[in-house]
């Protein structure tokens, strides 16, 4: 067998280990599933009637944003999981084994997609209950979900890198909060980017979180007719812009993380 096949096999073994963990620690899963429900309900009912979206309903507008924010938060599990393994010495055990040097990270990022698949299903169901609908076809909607997952997957490589450099799980949980909240709020997730003032608006327009949100809305058919056309390229071509970000993030952070893993400390 060549080294690429070994890497795939090793990654599979690691992913399997992580999946067992998801099953054995249902508390984490509960939290992963309950918080998106909470977000959908809170935003739908608290802001639902006070934020106006020209030509459409805020609840339909909102869902794309909540999807994007939630899957990005879901990606932080990758960092927390790795930081935990580092702290407990499990990474050292892996590093002393004759296994592929990328498998721990590839297996981890892959298995963490499960969290996001589950939370997307739960959010979609909750969304349907509060009045969200898919107006495009099934294929288009499926592509929308895939794009959200792919973006979160790419982001989990960023978190993997962070997870390997922080001293503890607590640090990564707090740090990711500080980074991800601005990243997902200074965007078109909860209000249209055009409503934001000056520099914030520019940031939001070029923020990849806005693009993935915009792409999801388009693919779900949640952009009401009569909505003004976006004026910046990323939001005019959200799918392409998102795919570019996915490729760039992985191209930078996958090698960076693997390199860090090889050296660890």
Residue numbers of the site for another protein (CB under 8 A)? 6, 9-10, 13, 16-17, 20-21, 24-25, 88-90, 92-99, 103, 264-265
Provide, rounded to whole angstroms, the least separation between the CB of residue 33 and another protein.
19
Nearer to another protein, 102 or 184 (CB): 102
- In whole angstroms, the minimum distance from the beta carbon of 176 to another protein comes to 22
Question: How far is residue 84's CA from residue 28's CA, in Å, rounded to a whole number?
Answer: 14
Q: Which one, 94 or 155, has the nearer CB to another protein?
A: 94
Q: Which is nearer to another protein, 38 or 97 (CB)?
A: 97
Query: What interhelical angle do 138-165 and 58-87 show, nearest 10?
Result: 30
Q: Residues 69, 216: contact at Cβ < 8 Å? A: no
Beta bridge mates, 56? 53
User: Of 115 and 153, which CB lies nearer to another protein in the complex structure?
Assistant: 115
Displacement of CA 99 from its chain's centroid (Å) = 28
Smallest distance from another protein to CB 103, Å: 8
Considering the complex, state which of residue 28 and residue 200 has its C-beta at the smaller distance from another protein.
28
Query: What is the length of the chain?
Result: 265
- What angle (nearest 5°) sits at the alpha carbon of residue 202, between those of residues 234 and 154? 50
Shortest Cβ 257–another protein spacing (Å): 18
Q: 146: which 2 tokens?
A: 């895939």
């Amino acid at each position: 067998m060549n080294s690429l096949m070994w890497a795939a096999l090793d990654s599979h073994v690691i992913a399997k280990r992580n999946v067992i963990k998801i099953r054995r620690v249902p508390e984490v899963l509960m939290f992963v599933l309950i918080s998106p429900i909470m977000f959908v309900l809170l935003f739908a009912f608290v802001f639902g009637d006070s934020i106006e979206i020209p030509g459409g309903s805020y609840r339909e507008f909102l869902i794309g944003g909540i999807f994007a924010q939630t899957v990005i938060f879901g990606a932080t599990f990758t960092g927390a999981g790795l930081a935990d393994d580092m702290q407990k010495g499990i990474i050292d055990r892996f590093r002393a084994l004759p296994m592929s040097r990328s498998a721990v990270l590839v297996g981890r990022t892959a298995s963490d997609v499960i969290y996001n698949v589950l939370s997307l299903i739960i959010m979609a169901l909750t969304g349907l209950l509060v009045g969200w609908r898919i107006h495009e076809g099934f294929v288009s909607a499926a592509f929308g979900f895939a794009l959200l997952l792919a973006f979160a997957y790419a982001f989990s490589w960023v978190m993997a890198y962070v997870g390997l450099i922080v001293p503890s799980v607590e640090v990564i949980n707090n740090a990711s909060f500080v980074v991800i909240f601005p990243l997902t709020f200074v965007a078109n997730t909860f209000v249209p980017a055009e409503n934001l003032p000056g520099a914030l608006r520019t940031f939001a327009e070029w923020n990849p979180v806005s693009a993935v949100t915009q792409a999801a809305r388009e693919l779900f058919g949640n952009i009401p007719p009569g909505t003004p056309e976006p004026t910046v390229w990323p939001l005019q071509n959200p799918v392409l812009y998102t795919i570019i970000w996915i490729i760039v993030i992985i191209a930078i952070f996958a090698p960076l993380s693997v390199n860090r893993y090889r050296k660890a400390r």
